[in-house]
Amino acid sequence: MSSLTRVDLHVHSTYSPDSALSLDRLVERMAYAGLRGAALTDHNTVRGHRALGEIARAHPEYWFIPGVEISTREGHLLAYGISVDPPVGRPLEETVEWVHDRGGIAALAHPYRRTHGAGRRAGDRAAVDLIETVNGHNTSVANARAELLSAARRLPSTGGSDSHEPRDLGRAYTEFPDDVRTVADLLEALRRGSVRGTGNSLGLPGQIRWSLRTSLLRAARGFRSI
C-alpha cells in the first residue's frame, strides 16, 4: 500500500440535507487534504452524480467514485458503483442484495456509531464486502470496535471522513495500491479487498461541535432521521 494513494470514501455534498460541502469546494480542498480521489456518498440519493461527472471531466487529475449512503432498518450502508436512487428503510440484508444485484460494492458505514450504526448483531451477519473501520466523525472507541469486527470477519477495511464541511475532508481515508489509474481500477481494488482504512477519529472538542451541529440540523428538519 502507498500512503500517497489516498481516497476519501465517505463524502457528503450539498445534495445531502445535512451537508454544506459543495462539489466545487470539494475539488478546491482535495490537494490540501492530501487526496487523490473521493467517493460521493450523499444520503439516499444520487442526484449529485451528473454534476460529479462534470467535475471529473474538468479535473482529470482526481478520481471521483459514484456512491450513496443508504439508510437501512438496522443502520447506514455505503454503496459504491451505484448510480440509481436506492430503496430506503429496508432490512440491511435486503439492501445489500439490492446493491450486489446492480453490480455495486457494499460497506458497513460506522457500524458502532450510537446512531445510524448497524452494530454487532447486524454487522456479524450482513453479507457486505467491506467494513468502514476509520470514520472521521467517529470516536476512537467506535472505530476500534469496527476494526475488531473487520478482523473477526476477515473483511477488508475502509476509511472515510464522513465530511459534511470542507474542513473535515480527508480526516480519514482509504489507501489504494499504487497501480490504480482509473475509477474502474479503484472499484476493482475495492472488490478485491486490496485496500486499507486509516486516518483520524474525532476528538472531544470535535465531538461536542458535531453533536451541537447535528442537533440543530435535526431540529430544523423536524427531528426526522436521515
* Full residue range of the structural domain in which residue 182 is found: 6-220
Local structure of residue 138 (DSSP, 8 states): S
Tell me, yes or no, whether 108 lies in a domain.
Answer: yes
Q: For 3-37, write each residue's pLDDT tens digit.
A: 469 999 999 999 999 899 999 999 999 999 999 99
Average pLDDT over residues 78-98: 97
- Is residue 110 within 8 A of residue 117, CB to CB? The reply is yes
CA 16 to each of CA 60, 122, 160: distance values in angstroms, whole numbers, following the listed order: 24, 25, 16
Tell me, yes or no, whether 176 lies in a domain.
Answer: yes
- On average, the pLDDT of the chain sits at 92
Residue with cell 475532508: 169
Tell me, yes or no, whether 79 lies in a domain.
Answer: yes
Average pLDDT over residues 59-65: 97
Tell me, yes or no, whether 158 lies in a domain.
Answer: yes
Q: Measuring CA to CA, which residue among 173, 175, 226 is closest to residue 201?
A: 173
Tell me, yes or no, whether 226 lies in a domain.
Answer: no
Tell me, yes or no, whether 135 lies in a domain.
Answer: yes
Q: For 169-183, write each residue's pLDDT tens digit.
A: 999 999 999 999 999
Q: For 101-154, write each residue's pLDDT tens digit.
A: 999 999 999 999 988 999 988 999 999 999 999 999 999 999 999 999 999 999
CA angle 177/67/197 to nearest 5° reads 40
CA max distance for the chain: 47
CATH number for 53:
3.20.20.140
* Total domains, the chain: 1
Average pLDDT over residues 60-87: 97
Global pTM exceeds 0.75? yes
H helices within the chain, ranges in order? 23-30, 49-58, 92-101, 119-123, 140-153, 183-192, 204-220
